Structure 1
Amino acid sequence: MARRPAAPPRFPKVLPRGPQLWDASTSRWNEDNTDGIFACELIESYLRLTKGVRRGELVQLRAWQADLICDILRLVPGTRQRAYWTYLLLVPRKNSKSLLGAGLAVDGILDEPGAEVYSCAADKDQAKIIFGEVRAAVEMSPELDAKQGGLLKVYRDAIEYPATGSVYRALSSDAFTKEGLNPSRVLFDELHAQPTDELWNVMNQGSDTRAQPLIIAISTFGKKTQTDGEDTVCYQQYQYAKQVMSGEVDDPRYGARIYETNDQVRGFTYLDQRVWEQANPAYGDFLDPEKMAAVSRKLPEPDFKTKRLNIWVTQAKVWLPEGVWDRCEDGGQEIPDGAEVCLGFDGSFNNDSTALVVVRPGEPLEFDPDAPEHADLDEDERDRLAAELNAGLRRPHIDVVQAWERPKDAPPDWAVPILEVEAAIRAACKKWTVREIVCDPARWARTYQVLEEEGLPVVEFPQSPARMVPATQRFYEGVMNATVTHSGDPRLARHLANAFVRNTPKGFMIFKETKGSPRKIDLAVASIIALDRACTPPERPPTPQFFNWAEL
C-alpha cells in the first residue's frame, strides 16, 4: 500500500496565493492529516456568494483558501485529534475574510453534537454584520436552510442545528456574559478592533471540556498599542505567533498564517503596485489591481498601509531594516571554551527583562591605511589591498548566554532571580576567558560589587548619550556592512526588532517604541555595549619606567 505524502509544513516559507482553483487530488492534504477536506467540500457544495454580480453562485475555493482551511483543521499525525486550539490569520481587507469566516462557522455547527459556535466582534454593530453574513449564506442554500428543507434553523439572533443541539451566535465585547459559555469554535472578527483582551481571554478559557476546541482570529493589522501603552490583543498575538514560527516558543497547539508587506526594503514606497501582492493572496484575481490603485489614492497613507498592505504603522522609526540582521547569521559558529570574550549585561528587577550576551572579538585587521608604506596609494588601490589582506579574518560574533523575561502570567510580585543571574555570569566566566563584564551601573550595584570582590572584570558602561550614541552607531554599521556575525538566537532577533531609534543632541540611540511598552530591547542594549567593548583594544598594563638617580 502506497504511503500517503506528509502534510505541508506548519509554517511554509512562501505562503500560497493566486487564482488557481482548489483540487484536493493534487495537494498534499488528505483525510489522514486534516479535517479540512470535509470543510472545503461543505463550502463548495452548499455555500453561495452573497454579494456582487455572482451572487447566488456556489463558492469556488482558490487553492490558497482551501490550503488555509486545511491548515486550520490540521490533524496530529497518526490521530484524529486536531493539531491547533488557537489559530491566527492576518490578511488585508478584500481577501474574502468574511467568506472564510462563514464557512468555518457553518463547519463548526456540524463539527460535534452540542457544538457552541461564536463569532466575536468589537461592538454590537459589527457583531450584527458578522451574523448577517452567516445567516445570508445559510438562507441562500436549500440544503442548509430549514425553511427550504435543509439542516439549519435560522432565528433572529441564532442559527441552530436541531439534530445535534448545536448553535451559532454572534457576540460583541460590549455585550456578553461570561456565564454559561462552553464554546467549541470561536471566530474573532477583526481582532485588532477589540478594545481590551477581556473577551479574548474569556473565550480561550471556556473550552476546557471540549474535545476539539478551536479559536480562530481573522483580522487585518491595526494599532500596536492601547491608550495605556500596553500592546493591543492583536499585536500580542502577532508577536506570539512570530515567536512560535521562529522556534523561540514551542507551542504545537498554535497555528498562524500572516500575510504582510515588507516595508523595510531599500526604496520601498507603499504606492508601488509591485509590492501589493506580498500581503494580498487574492491580488490579480478577485482583488482587482486597478480598483486597489484607486483606493490607494483615496485612503490616507496610514490607513492604506494598515488595512490593505498589513503594515504596522507607528510614529517611531524602526532601527534595523528588515532582513539585514538575518544576513549576518552564522548559526554554525560556536564560541569555543576558553576563547577571549566580552560579556554584555543589561538588567532590571521586575518590569522589563534581564539580558546576558557574549561577544567574541574579531581578529585584528591586517591593513593599516595610515601606514607609511601605503601613503602613495590611491583610494581604489587601498580598498583592493585592504580586501586582500583582510579576507578570511574572523568577524566579531554575538550570542545570547541567557535572558530572563517576565512571564505573561507572572504574579504581581515577580522579580528577576538575582542569584540565578549572578550564577550565570560566574558560569560564563568559567567557560570563557572574559576580558570584561560590560554593564550599566544603575540598579544592579550590589551584584557588581559582589562580582568585583570575587575578582571578576566588571566594567561600568553608563547608558548615557555620550557612551551609547557611538556604540549604537558601531553596532549599526557592523550589521549593515555584515562585518559581524551572530548565532541566530530568536530572542535577540525579537529584541532588535522591538528597538526604535530616536535622535538625541548627541546622535541616534535606541529606545522602546513607548516608555510603557512591554516589548523588550534589553538583549539589543547588552549586545551594543558588549560589541563596542569587544571592538575596543584592551588597555595594556603600564610599562615600568626606571630613572637614573643622578638625573633626579
Structure 2
Amino acid sequence: MDGLDPVIARHIPADAPFPSEGYRVANWIERFCYLTGSFAGQPFRLLPWQRDLLVDAYELRQDLFGRWKRKNRMAVVCIARKNGKSTIAAAIMLYHLVADRADAQRQIIAAANDRNQARMVFDAAKQMVNASPKLSAVCDVQRDVIKFKDSTYRVVSADAGRQQGLNPSAVSLDEYAFSKNADLFDALTLGSAARNQPMTWVVSTAGPDPDGPFAKLCETGERVNSGEVNDPTLFYRSWGPRIGDTVDHTDPDVWKACNPSYEILNEEDFRAAVQRSTEASFRIYRLSQFVRGASTWLPHGLWGELAREDTLAPGDAVVLGFDGSWKGDSTALVACRVEDLRVFVLGHWEAPQDDAHWRVPMADVRDALNEALRVYVVRNLVADPYRWEETLDNLEAEGFPVEAFPTNSLKRMIPATQAVYDACRDGRLTHDGNPALARHIGNAVLREDKNGARVTKEYAASRRKIDLAIAMILAVHGAVMWREDNPGFINAAILATWEDDTGAVFTEGLPADMAGVFDD
C-alpha cells in the first residue's frame, strides 16, 4: 500500500482484505458523533452491518498513476425503515464536512424529493453536532446550513428549485424511491463532476414503483454485483427481497433477514405492524421490497373466505355506502349491518362494456335509495356527493342521516381503506358473496405514496370497475365509526317487535331478562 495517505493508512487493520477509507470513516464517527432520537446523547457505536457497509463502500483502488482513490463514487443502499438509515447518513455527511481529505473546500448536500424529508438527515446532523463537544467547537450550526471553515453542509430538495448550479463533494439522497423522476438525482450527480473524489449516498426504503428511478438504480446495482454490468464506481447493497421474489411477509425469519438492525428492534412491533398494515405497506416499509403500485388490495383468496350465506332482514340497523356516477361508469349501493359488519349489495348499475353512450338510470337509483331508507334502520348514509348533490340534499332535508364523503379526499380515504383492510384481515367483516362485488374488489389496486395507501383503479382510463368496492369501504368504515361512537348500542333488529295475523307480539332473539320488555 505504498503511497497511501498515512492518515487513512493508520486506521486500516493489518489483516484487512483490502485498503479502505471506511475504517477511518467508522472510527471517526464513533469518536465524534452521538446518537439522536430515542438514544440521544449516547456515543455512536456502529453495528456490525454499518461498519461493514462503510468498509466496503469506501474501498480504495490505485489509478493509472498509482494514486490511491475511492473505488466508488456512488453508494446505493436499499434498506427497510427503522434501521437507522437517516442517522448513519447524517454521520457520513458530517465526516465529509469535517474530515474528508479529498477536497479542501467541501460542499455537502442533504437532498430528498421534498424539503421536509431532506431535513430529516440534515436535522439529525445538526443534533449530532450540538451533542458533540468537539464538533460543536469547530462547526457553526445555523438553521439551514452547517459551516466548517470554508466548507458547508446544506439542504436542497426537488420541490425547492435550488438543485441547479451546485458542485457537491458529498451528497446524501434520502427516500429516492418516492421520486417520480431522476431530475434531482441527475442535477446532484452531474454537478459533482469537477470534484476530486465525490461521493453520493442514495439511501432509501423500497417503494411502490418497481419501474421508478430508484428501482432502476437498484436493478443496475444488482447487475453490477452479479457481474452482468461493469460499473466499478457503483456500490450497491440491499437486504430486502428482489423484485418478483416470493417471501412470506409474516415470517419472523424473513423480518430478521431483511432488517440488519433487527437485533435492537422490537419484534412485537413487527408482529403488531403485520396485523394492522396492508401487505403491500408491510413489504415496502418493513422488508424494503419493491411492490408494484397496482398490487391487488386484499391478499389472494381472503375475500372469498369471508363469504357467508345470509340475507338482510327488514329493520336491521345498517350503514349505507353509496358511490354514484351518471354515464359510462357504474353506481353502487352497499349496506353494512352494524351488529356484525356483514356486507350486502343493495343496488348496482354498471355500464355495458360495448355501450359508450350508457347513462345511469337515475330514477331507479333514487328508488333504491328510498327503499333502503324505508326498509332498514339506517344509522348513516355515507355517500360521495359528486353529481348526486341534489338527491343527497333532498334526503337530508327529509331528516335522513347523510354524510358527504368525497372519495378523492386522501385524508378520508386512506384511514377508511386501512380500517376496512383491518376488518377483513381480522375476520370481523363478512359479506353475502355477491359476485359483482367480488369482481370490483379484485379490480381494485392499492396505491402507495408518502401520504399512505388507498384503493383506486389500475389506471385512470381503465374500464375495470371498482365502484362496489368503494361503496363497500364507505359503508364498512361508516359502521365501524358508528359503533365506536355508540359503544352501548343494541341492534334495532334484536329489539324490533312485530305482530302476526293474530296480533301476537314476537320477541324472539331477546335475552331472557328482556323478554318482558314489550309485555305492555
Q: What TM-score do the two structures reach when normalised by structure 2? A: 0.51
2:204 counterpart (208, 219, 223) = 219
Give the distance between the partners of 1:140 and 1:309, measured in 2 at CA.
32
The aligned runs of 1:87-102 (5 Å cut-off) are: 87-102=75-90
Determine the structure 2 residue equivalent to 1:237.
217
Secondary structure of the residue aligned to 1:120 is strand
The aligned runs of 1:199-278 (5 Å cut-off) are: 199-224=184-209, 231-261=211-241, 268-278=247-257
Going from structure 1 to structure 2, the CA distance change for 1:265 and 1:181 (only over 3 Å counts) comes to: closer
Going from structure 1 to structure 2, the CA distance change for 1:242 and 1:250 (only over 3 Å counts) comes to: same
Give the distance between the partners of 1:152 and 1:71, measured in 2 at CA.
29
Give the distance between the partners of 1:55 and 1:293, measured in 2 at CA.
26
Give the distance between the partners of 2:222 and 2:215, measured in 1 at CA.
11
Q: Contact (CA 8 Å) 2:86, 2:120: kept in 1 or not? A: no
Give the distance between the partners of 1:288 and 1:27, measured in 2 at CA.
35
Structure 1 residue 192 corresponds to structure 2 residue 180: no
Q: Contact (CA 8 Å) 1:223, 1:235: kept in 2 or not? A: no
Secondary structure of the residue aligned to 2:153 is strand
Letter in 1 for 2:19: N
- How many angstroms does 1:177 deviate by? 2.7
Give the distance between the partners of 2:46 and 2:96, measured in 1 at CA.
18
Give the distance between the partners of 1:246 and 1:57, measured in 2 at CA.
39
2:265 counterpart (287, 291, 305) = 287
Structure 1 residue 142 corresponds to structure 2 residue 142: no
The aligned runs of 1:80-119 (5 Å cut-off) are: 80-110=68-98, 111=100, 112-119=103-110
- How many angstroms does 1:166 deviate by? 0.8
Q: Contact (CA 8 Å) 1:43, 1:59: kept in 2 or not? A: yes
Letter in 2 for 1:51: G
- How many angstroms does 1:58 deviate by? 0.3
Letter in 2 for 1:277: K
Q: Contact (CA 8 Å) 1:39, 1:103: kept in 2 or not? A: no
Give the distance between the partners of 1:298 and 1:28, measured in 2 at CA.
45
Determine the structure 2 residue equivalent to 1:313.
291
Going from structure 1 to structure 2, the CA distance change for 1:156 and 1:26 (only over 3 Å counts) comes to: same
The aligned runs of 1:139-538 (5 Å cut-off) are: 139-145=130-136, 150-162=137-149, 165-224=150-209, 231-261=211-241, 268-283=247-262, 285-314=263-292, 315=294
Structure 1 residue 49 corresponds to structure 2 residue 35: yes
Going from structure 1 to structure 2, the CA distance change for 1:253 and 1:161 (only over 3 Å counts) comes to: same
- How many angstroms does 1:279 deviate by? 1.2
Q: Contact (CA 8 Å) 1:261, 1:278: kept in 2 or not? A: no
Higher helix share: 2
Give the distance between the partners of 2:178 and 2:205, measured in 1 at CA.
9
1:34 counterpart (20, 30, 46) = 20
Give the distance between the partners of 2:44 and 2:167, measured in 1 at CA.
31
Give the unaligned 5+ runs of structure 2.
Answer: 5-10, 297-457, 460-520
Q: Contact (CA 8 Å) 1:90, 1:259: kept in 2 or not? A: yes
Determine the structure 2 residue equivalent to 1:60.
45
Q: Contact (CA 8 Å) 2:97, 2:153: kept in 1 or not? A: yes
- How many angstroms does 1:301 deviate by? 1.1
- How many angstroms does 1:28 deviate by? 2.7
Secondary structure of the residue aligned to 1:76 is strand
Secondary structure of the residue aligned to 2:134 is coil
Give the distance between the partners of 1:25 and 1:80, measured in 2 at CA.
17
Going from structure 1 to structure 2, the CA distance change for 1:213 and 1:113 (only over 3 Å counts) comes to: same
- Percent identity, aligned pairs only, is 29
Letter in 2 for 1:83: K
- How many angstroms does 1:44 deviate by? 0.6
Letter in 2 for 1:119: A
Give the distance between the partners of 1:179 and 1:222, measured in 2 at CA.
26
Determine the structure 2 residue equivalent to 1:121.
112
Determine the structure 2 residue equivalent to 1:70.
55
TM-superposition CA deviations, 1:81-140 (whole Å, max 9, x none): 010111110110111101210111101112131111101111122122222111011111
TM-superposition CA deviations, 1:296-344 (whole Å, max 9, x none): 2222111100111122213479xxxxxxxxxxxxxxxxxxxxxxxxxxx
| RMSD of equivalent CA atoms | 2.7
- How many angstroms does 1:224 deviate by? 2.2
Secondary structure of the residue aligned to 1:221 is coil
TM-superposition CA deviations, 1:49-82 (whole Å, max 9, x none): 1121x32110111121111011221111564201
Letter in 1 for 2:37: K
Going from structure 1 to structure 2, the CA distance change for 1:189 and 1:265 (only over 3 Å counts) comes to: closer
Going from structure 1 to structure 2, the CA distance change for 1:252 and 1:296 (only over 3 Å counts) comes to: same
Determine the structure 2 residue equivalent to 1:432.
none
Secondary structure of the residue aligned to 1:255 is strand
- How many angstroms does 1:25 deviate by? 4.8
Number of paired residues? Answer: 284
Q: Contact (CA 8 Å) 2:178, 2:207: kept in 1 or not? A: yes
Letter in 2 for 1:252: P
Give the unaligned 5+ runs of structure 1.
Answer: 5-22, 226-230, 318-512, 515-552
Q: Contact (CA 8 Å) 1:85, 1:213: kept in 2 or not? A: yes
Going from structure 1 to structure 2, the CA distance change for 1:217 and 1:26 (only over 3 Å counts) comes to: same
- How many angstroms does 1:176 deviate by? 3.1
Q: Contact (CA 8 Å) 1:122, 1:173: kept in 2 or not? A: yes
- How many angstroms does 1:263 deviate by? 8.7
Give the distance between the partners of 1:46 and 1:298, measured in 2 at CA.
39
Secondary structure of the residue aligned to 1:92 is coil
Give the distance between the partners of 2:86 and 2:295, measured in 1 at CA.
33
